[in-house]
Amino acid sequence: PTPIFLKNTIMFASSARLATRAAPLGVVGAAAFLSATPVEAKSAVDISAVRKDIANLIETDAAKRDDGTSYTGTFVRLAWHCAGTYSKADNSGGSNGARMRFNPEASWGANAGLGGARDALEPLKAKYPDLSYADLYTLAGVTAIEEAAGPTIPWRSGREDMPSGESSPPDGRLPDADKGNPPKTIEHIKAVFNRMGFSDRQMVALSGAHALGRCHENASGYWGPWTFAETTFSNEYFRLLIEEKWTLKTTHNGKPWTGPVQYEDSTGKLMMLPSDVALLQDAELRKVVELYAKDEDLFFKEFSAAFSKLLELGVPFPKAWWKFW
């Protein structure tokens, strides 16, 4: 005979299936939590197709530029800044809502240059109208990293869009590259990441996204890429940070440098921000930089977990049924 506890388990699962089949559309969601698979609000969208279209967009744009640059780094920054406003203290901010497409966030200095990335994704939003902007922006960053030979980033749909920027958090939640001196800069970036719920080690891991893309004078005021392979995700950012000699940039194209304080390597072709160099001047953070510089697999693993966490902060995903007890 079947043990009583197993009979109850079978009856419980059967009841869930019957409830889902028999219930009207309006109440199916009440039984949906019984599924072990997370419920996704936009399940009708073919996410694999969206990924392919994002990858094609990056590839097509890179071919048009023909200068070694692409949307890769910009899409990662788009996803990062969409999510990086989160505060664990009151659960405000984060990627849910995609408020960055409205003012005030669209006009924040930290988001300068991201309007072009949002515009580039508009045709995909039109093609997949049931996919939220918040899902599209975060998926663009995930796809960019994976297409750049980076780690697989756990990602799921289900974010919703806000109709305006009225609920945007206050400006100043995204990290600044320079607070005047290394101790203040380190204090600032630690406060930014700790506010979101990240450890200092996770902060360093996320900084590794600087392996991709470059800074533009017409956006941030800074100039140049962090690595010689700005469309390839790797631990090169950490290796270069440790192994190269970084000096203050004083000239640019034969003329005095008039931009903000930044550092350059011996060739003058690579750059580091004050917040990058500051990682070396904190003993504990430097240890993590050295660790990632030597072990790319470890960096990939820890970056993947931290970036996935970043993109989900503040998103009210439905809980799996076993998490209700």
Helices and strands in the chain, H and E counts: 12, 7
- Residue 311 neighbours by CB under 8 Å, 6+ apart: 79, 83, 95, 138, 141, 142, 153, 155
Contact 78, 310 (CB under 8 A): no
Q: What does the chain come to in residues? A: 325
Reply yes or no on whether 226 is catalytic.
Answer: yes
Contact 158, 40 (CB under 8 A): yes
Contact 114, 81 (CB under 8 A): yes
Structure tokens at 200: 């200092």
Contact 299, 208 (CB under 8 A): yes
Contact 222, 259 (CB under 8 A): yes
Reply yes or no on whether 81 is catalytic.
Answer: yes
User: Greatest CA separation found in the chain?
Assistant: 88
Residue 253 region by backbone torsions, left for phi larger than 0, else alpha for psi between -120 and 50, else beta: left
Catalytic residue among 81, 108, 155, 246: 81
Catalytic residue among 108, 155, 223, 226: 226
Structure tokens at 123: 């045709």
- The residues that are catalytic are 81, 226
